Amino acid sequence: MSDVLTTMAYERARSVPEALTLLAEGGEDTRPISGGQSLVPMMNLGLAAPAFLVDVSGIPALRTIGVDGGHLVVGAAVTHAELTTDPLVAEHAPLLAMAAAHIGSRRIRNRGTIGGSVSHGDAAAELPVSCHVLEADYRVESLGRQEWRPAREFSLGYYQTDLRSGELVTAVRIPLRPRHGWGFHEYSRRAGDFALASAAAGVALDGDRIRSAAVAVTGAADRPLRLEAVERRLTGVTAAEAERVMSGLAAALDVADDPYTKGADRARLIEAMAVRAVRDACADARREQA
Ligand SMILES: Cc1cc2nc3c(=O)[nH]c(=O)nc-3n(C[C@H](O)[C@H](O)[C@H](O)COP(=O)(O)OP(=O)(O)OC[C@H]3O[C@@H](n4cnc5c(N)ncnc54)[C@H](O)[C@@H]3O)c2cc1C
């Protein structure tokens, strides 16, 4: 056992301005903490050792879900469990609810937050890949500054995101896209494990033909991967032809072996999940048209 004792300060912020001030004053060794479901395990493993934690989970402004100017806006401290039950999420971004239902166990979902998930940057996480497909933006604030950053550019690699010291994700906004259909599928070895492969899909139909498709997967790279070539192939085909045009996807993916899974096996899983997600999205879009 280590005989080195470390001390850590902890403050529970009551508002976004207070959190931003604490983060700015604390400097490089200060980290926001929200649900603690990724940061605390990292600290337990010695992979993170912040000197000062600013708890943002109880800030009322970060706990809201609303519709504003053509977007669904989800506060950063909304939990995964809340995403699965909120009526506005169900109506305007059901993909988020589908994806959140796959995260860990109920205990994790009750504490973990959307802001924490997108900031943490786990390449296997369900919410960032869904935010790619939803064309979401993240509101990033620091003292005296606020901007929206696209989800597509936010993940920079394993556990790396486009966030600097002093910055806080305060909301996720998702454009409202009526008459779209959505699908999410994943494969994990045991229920509650991180997925070996997952896929999120969004589809708009023109009659029975796919007018536009968005498909992104995890398991293929160090961040969510948008399958633009697949999206182009899907555009204009009928829903019934979707599986055929997606076959061969696995061969086109360059997935590295890891100690537990061969890259080729994982690529086949990714293809299977993507096919199922698109199939569900087409069925959902048909229901939306009816
Ligand atoms: C056993 C177990 C199983 C899990 N399984 C899954 C799974 O299957 N899928 C999955 O996606 N996740 C899984 N998780 C992780 C879980 O989803 C976390 O809730 C999520 O990754 C982080 O959210 P959090 O609110 O707990 O963040 P925290 O742990 O509080 O923080 C995570 C990181 O984000 C930063 N951060 C937090 N909030 C903000 C913010 N608002 N702005 C800027 N930075 C912020 C922190 O400084 C830290 O670096 C699992 C966790 C455990 C312990």
Burial label, 235 (beta-carbon count in 10 A; 0-12, 13-18, 19+): middle
Which residues, in sequence order, are bridge partners of residue 212? Answer: 204
Cα 39 to middle of ligand 1, angstroms: 7
Give the angle 92-157-111 at the CA atoms, nearest 5°: 50
- Whose CA is closest to atom 36 on ligand 1? 116
Which residues line the pocket of ligand 1, CB cutoff 6 A? Answer: 31-39, 41, 56, 76, 103-104, 108, 112-113, 115-117, 119-120, 122, 125-126, 163, 168-169, 194
How far is the centre of ligand 1, averaged over its atoms, from the C-alpha of 114 (Å)?
A: 8
Domains of the chain: 9-55 (3.30.43.10), 60-175 (3.30.465.10), 181-188+197-289 (3.30.390.50)
ipTM associated with this complex: 0.99
What single letter denotes the amino acid at residue 278? V
> What are the DSSP E strand ranges found in the chain?
9-12, 30-33, 52-55, 65-68, 71-75, 137-142, 145-150, 155-157, 160-161, 168-175, 180-187, 197-206, 209-218, 225-226
| Protein residue with its CA nearest to atom 1 in ligand 1 | 104
Residues 158, 190: contact at Cβ < 8 Å?
A: no
Tell me the CA–centroid distance for residue 206 and ligand 1, in Å. 38
Query: Digits of tens for pLDDT over the chain (290 positions)?
Result: 455 567 899 999 999 999 999 999 999 999 999 999 999 999 999 999 999 999 999 999 999 999 999 999 999 999 999 999 999 999 999 999 999 999 999 999 999 999 999 999 999 999 999 999 999 999 999 999 999 999 999 999 999 999 999 999 999 999 999 999 999 999 999 888 999 999 999 999 999 999 999 999 999 999 999 999 999 999 999 999 999 999 999 999 999 999 889 999 999 999 999 999 999 999 999 998 87
